[in-house]
Amino acid sequence: MDNFEILAALRDGTKKKIILDTDCFNEVDDQYALAYAMLSPDKVEILSVNAAPFLNSRSTSAGDGMEKSYNEIFRIMKLTDPVLAEKIPVYRGSESFMTDPKVYVQSDACDNIINTVMNSEELIYIVAVGAITNVASAIVKCPEIAKKAVLIWLGGHALERPDTKEFNLKQDIPGTQAVFDSGIALYQIPCDGVCSQFITTIPEVNYYLKGKNELCDYLCKITESYTKNPYGWSKVIWDVTAIAAITVPAAEETVIIPRPYVTSDCRYAFDAARAPYMYVRKIRRDPIYADLFKKLSEKN
């Protein structure tokens, strides 16, 4: 299949085998996304979970962020489904970001992506919701995987924004360049201008989730703790939309266009001759939150 056929198949509603690559301790959205994927067995088969690096006020280094994410992955998986959690392998990712788009960062997560993709007779869907380091490193180390995998990535801003200095992208510009230049079948969910529509509030989260089960109470707790001033406050639960690309594809309006270049100063540059990719230009938040809250609250 060519990229057009591969990307069209992404939205056909059938079950997908995924590797989830997540900076799970970065804020509160990854936790929702991981639980949502585990609670959607009719649409998602999680082959493995990779811990992605991140660096902000919640970590002292990219490696520290990765290690905290690694531990948080186990916490969420056990809260969601202890039995399934024992069956899903988890891998440590990169301890640093890429410094050159042609030089990979070695990690267990990098090798996991390569081994899973190359040993599969089916398309593997890599769902990345953090810095793209693990995925980019795998592509640079083994370029053949770009022909056997689909990448769903939440990163960058909308194409019309003056820059794309979004958290996931700006942490690893060389890695993003490697991915966009690789030709891999790519589905991009931009943040500011697109995914920024996917908001919720503490009252809404508490109404649907609080008191339902231990997982829901944990999600309510970390959401409430994310702000010191809850009045009039809303939160984008960004990463859920990457899982929703598979579970509720009709809620994401897409277009197939030439993929941009990512420049070293964190902007887009355009060339109509570039390989096509699928770009999300609008998200309908209601059907995604309806599916998410229902699955979380009804968990046994």
Residues 225-237 have pLDDT tens digits of 999 999 999 999 9
Amino acid at 79: L
d(CA 135, CA 62): 15
pLDDT cut 90: percent of the chain above it: 95
Q: Give the model confidence (pLDDT) of 264-283 as tens digits.
A: 999 999 999 999 999 999 99
Q: Name the residue ranges covered by the structural domains of the chain.
A: 3-198+237-284, 200-235
Is the CB of residue 219 less than 8 Å from the CB of residue 35? yes
Is the CB of residue 181 less than 8 Å from the CB of residue 154? no
Where is pLDDT greater, at 3 or 56? 56
Across the range 185-214, mean pLDDT stands at 98
pLDDT score of 171: 98
* CATH classification for the domain delimited by 3-198+237-284, as one of 3.30.479.10, 3.40.50.720, 3.40.640.10, 3.90.245.10: 3.90.245.10
51 has pLDDT over 80: yes
Q: Which among 119, 121, 123, 129 is positioned nearest to 50, based on CA atoms?
A: 129
243 has pLDDT over 90: yes
Instruction: Take residue 103 and report the two structure tokens written for it.
Output: 């030089």
Across the range 241-254, mean pLDDT stands at 97
Q: Give the model confidence (pLDDT) of 3-49 as tens digits.
A: 778 888 888 889 999 999 999 999 999 999 999 999 999 999 999 99
Q: Give the model confidence (pLDDT) of 97-112 as tens digits.
A: 999 999 999 999 999 9
Q: Which among 50, 71, 76, 62 is positioned nearest to 135, based on CA atoms?
A: 50
DSSP 275: P
Residues written for the chain: 300
pLDDT score of 1: 60
Instruction: Take residue 205 and report the two structure tokens written for it.
Output: 């989260």
Q: Which among 95, 239, 29, 235 is positioned nearest to 153, based on CA atoms?
A: 239
For the question of whether the overall pTM of this predicted structure is more than 0.85, the answer is yes
